[in-house]
């Protein structure tokens, strides 16, 4: 599926909106980013995947003051798939209140819901090594050029 410029802009803004909503504490609005049945995969952090937008919001509330003060997303790469879905891969930087930070990779499945786009699957991979050393970069998490 070829993505239009409008689709690319809308999906990139969708991915960015996650950080804005989390950082402002507007977790009740996460349904503007995720489908109701989203799978939010945190296995790289040693946690079970969360199922459903309500579970994602509840997990954010449970973290409380341990949440990052800033979620920043960059390097968004979108690939349109034959079934109308979109594969999105982006980099995330989380800034904690004490100034420490971490880098992650977001692997998102994006679907059209009515006239809008929503993320129905998000896998978060913690970046631990420079230059990808010690990390598999094959299959689902391999970078792909835009369609």
Look at residues 132, 118, 101 and name the one whose alpha carbon lies nearest to residue 11. 118
Per-residue pLDDT tens digits for 69-125: 999 999 999 999 999 999 999 999 999 999 999 999 999 999 999 999 999 999 999
Look at residues 125, 45, 119, 52 and name the one whose alpha carbon lies nearest to residue 88. 119
Q: Could you write out the three-class secondary structure of 73-112?
A: EEEEEEEECCCCCEEEEEEEEEECCCCCEEEEEEEEEEEE
Considering the domain 5-127, what is its CATH architecture?
Answer: Roll (3.10)
pTM over 0.75: yes
CA dist 118 and 2 (Å) reads: 18
Rounded mean pLDDT of the chain? 91
**Are 42 and 60 spatial neighbours (Cβ–Cβ below 8 Å)?**
no
Per-residue pLDDT tens digits for 114-129: 999 999 999 999 998 8
Geometric angle at alpha carbon 119, from 114 and 124, rounded to 5°: 180
CA dist 68 and 95 (Å) reads: 5
């Amino acid at each position: 599926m070829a993505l239009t410029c409008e689709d690319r802009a809308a999906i990139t803004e969708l991915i960015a909106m996650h950080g804005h909503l989390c950082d402002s504490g507007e977790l009740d609005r996460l349904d503007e980013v995720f489908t109701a049945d989203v799978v939010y995969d945190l296995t790289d952090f040693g946690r079970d995947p969360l199922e459903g937008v309500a579970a994602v919001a509840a997990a954010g509330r449970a973290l409380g003051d341990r949440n990052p003060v800033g979620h920043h997303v960059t390097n968004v790469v979108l690939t349109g798939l034959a079934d109308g879905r979109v594969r999105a891969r982006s980099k995330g930087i989380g800034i904690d209140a004490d100034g420490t930070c971490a880098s992650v990779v977001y692997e998102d499945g994006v679907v059209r819901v009515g006239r809008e786009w929503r993320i129905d699957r998000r896998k978060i991979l913690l970046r631990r090594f420079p230059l990808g050393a010690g990390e598999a970069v094959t299959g689902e998490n391999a970078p792909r050029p835009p369609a």
